[in-house]
Amino acid sequence: MFIKQDPMRRVLYALVPIFIWSAYLYGWRVVALTAFVYLLGILAEYVFEKGKNKKVSEAVLVTCGLYALSLPPAVPFWAAGVGILFAVIFGKEVFGGFGRNVYNPAITGRTFAYISFPLMLQTTWMIPGNFGLGGGMNRLIQGSTGLEAVAMLVVAALLYWFIVKNEGKTKSVITASVVAVLVTVAFYVTTAYGFPFVNHHANSLSEIDAVAMATPIEIFRGLAQQNNWHQTVNIFGMPVALENNSPWALLFGVRVGSIGEGAIFLIILAGLYLLWTKTANWRPLILTIVSAAAFTVGFYYSGMMDHRFPVFAAHRMSGTGADQFADIIGFLMAGSLLYAAVFMSTDPVSSPKKPWSQWLYGIIIGGLTITIRVFAGFPEGVSFAILTANTFASLIDEVMPAGKKKAKKPVAAKPAAAEGGAE
């Protein structure tokens, strides 16, 4: 069913530890949501590729994995489903399938979901740690969405089975898809679990207070202090205060955020593995991080971040060097910057091909990410930065010079064997 693609498998291997650590942080929803995303993503590509008598590429497995790990852990399943369908269909298949897409499919789906359902993707967080069981808010989320997870997985599995069984029958496929959508809508309407249907029963996700949790970037902006938000969690028996934005806590993902973006230590190891196996190109990866660091330092010490991040202004004017270093390192580890740098800026299809172009490509992603964080109204800018860089990737290749090719050493001609000589 799948086209074997060794580079894609290596990316999946790199994602596995991040997935396992995320399951420890957020519990069973990680497993259920990822399974749901994979069912719909593979099915979408299967329908398109079978129409062309082609197999499904293993690249779609990477798209599904990256997309799932980029979502908030408590996001409703239907919203996640809309995003992955858009990622595969409009981010990849409409361009002709694998190798022809202009934009990174996972980022395309994530951005579409973010723009379409902004409130949902900015408030459906969970407190990390202890398999998602710590904290009253997590118990509400986990307890109120068990039925949702089972129902959506059953609908997706039945849809997958029916379409595969009725391969080539267009009317049956369309009918099954429409029925699946209607069943999903009916489920959310009758149970009132999903936005925008609100009820105030104790088991409703709509009761979750959007201000009850703050992401690291929001903490840097002072929103946690304004809302008097304090949360301490126990990670392997050690208490961690989330509102402190400790660099060590951010390094190990002990923070409020998307499923896979927080495991910085595993993301770094994944990046080293992908570089060591020559699966990822080092230029966009390194330049994304270096340019982001350069822009952060420049904005920090110029005072251009003071209006949005008052804690930085206080540390810059009267704090110690250690405080300032912690601010800069913490700001780089906050959000999805490193996750995107390792897994998405290195996408060989949507990135430029020339070496000098890849340097500029990484600079655009890193610099634009920090610029959006500091000056735009969005809490995070990496998705928009990557899509912008994708848009200009071909143009960059046109205007940038080609790298110097290594001169091949001349190979000495072998002396011809004497006619009639011994063998």
| Band of residue 143 on the pLDDT scale cut at 50, 70, 90 | low
What span, in angstroms and rounded, lies between the C-alpha atoms of 320 and 343? 35
| Nearest of 338, 366, 332 to residue 247 by alpha carbon | 332
In a domain, 352, yes or no: yes
Give, to the nearest 10 degrees, the angle between helix 6-26 and helix 264-276: 170
| Band of residue 332 on the pLDDT scale cut at 50, 70, 90 | very high
| Rounded average pLDDT over 123-134 | 85
Task: Report pLDDT digits (tens) over 342-369.
Answer: 999 999 999 999 999 999 999 999 999 9
Angle at 288 between CA 286 and CA 292, to 5 degrees: 120
In a domain, 102, yes or no: yes
In a domain, 231, yes or no: no
| Band of residue 194 on the pLDDT scale cut at 50, 70, 90 | very low
Q: Which domain holds residue 145?
A: 2-211
Is residue 178 predicted with pLDDT exceeding 90?
A: yes
Asked whether 403 and 123 are in contact (CB, 8 A), the reply is no
Residues 184, 75 within the same domain = yes
196 or 25, which is more confident: 25
| Band of residue 191 on the pLDDT scale cut at 50, 70, 90 | confident
Query: For residue 63, what pLDDT is reported?
Result: 97
Is residue 74 predicted with pLDDT exceeding 60?
A: yes
| Nearest of 40, 23, 208, 226 to residue 132 by alpha carbon | 23
In a domain, 216, yes or no: no
Q: Which ranges in 27-58 belong to alpha helices (H)?
A: 28-50
Residues 327, 201 within the same domain = no
Query: For residue 199, what pLDDT is reported?
Result: 40
Is residue 146 predicted with pLDDT exceeding 60?
A: yes
Asked whether 47 and 93 are in contact (CB, 8 A), the reply is no
Query: For residue 56, what pLDDT is reported?
Result: 94
Residues 186, 311 within the same domain = no
Residues 26, 133 within the same domain = yes
Is residue 195 predicted with pLDDT exceeding 50?
A: no
Residues 14, 129 within the same domain = yes
Q: Which residues of 245-275 are buried (b: 16+ CB within 10 A; e: fewer)?
A: bbbebbbbbbbbbbbbbbbbebbeebbebbb
Number of domains observed in the structure of the chain: 2
Is residue 247 predicted with pLDDT exceeding 90?
A: yes
Residues 193, 298 within the same domain = no
**Nearest 10 degrees: Cα torsion 348, 354, 359, 361:** -60
| Rounded average pLDDT over 379-391 | 94
**Cβ neighbours of residue 51 closer than 8 Å, sequence gap 6 or more:** none
Among the candidates 163, 182, 211, a domain finishes at 211
Residues 62, 156 within the same domain = yes
Determine the 3-state secondary structure of 233 from DSSP.
strand
In a domain, 354, yes or no: yes
| Rounded average pLDDT over 301-324 | 93
Among the candidates 183, 211, 239, a domain finishes at 211
| Rounded average pLDDT over 80-99 | 95
Residues 83, 203 within the same domain = yes
Asked whether 40 and 84 are in contact (CB, 8 A), the reply is yes
| Band of residue 119 on the pLDDT scale cut at 50, 70, 90 | confident
Is residue 212 predicted with pLDDT exceeding 60?
A: no
Residues 17, 164 within the same domain = yes
Among the candidates 156, 186, 211, a domain finishes at 211
Kindly state the percentage of the chain with pLDDT values over 70.
88
Residues 45, 178 within the same domain = yes
pTM of the full predicted structure? 0.91
In a domain, 9, yes or no: yes
Is residue 327 predicted with pLDDT exceeding 70?
A: yes
Is residue 414 predicted with pLDDT exceeding 60?
A: no
In a domain, 340, yes or no: yes
Question: For 76-90, 133-147, 259-273, 327-341, which range has the lowest pLDDT when averaged over its residues?
Answer: 133-147
In a domain, 291, yes or no: yes
* Structure tokens given for 300: 């920090």
Mean pLDDT over all residues of the chain? 88
What span, in angstroms and rounded, lies between the C-alpha atoms of 7 and 63? 13
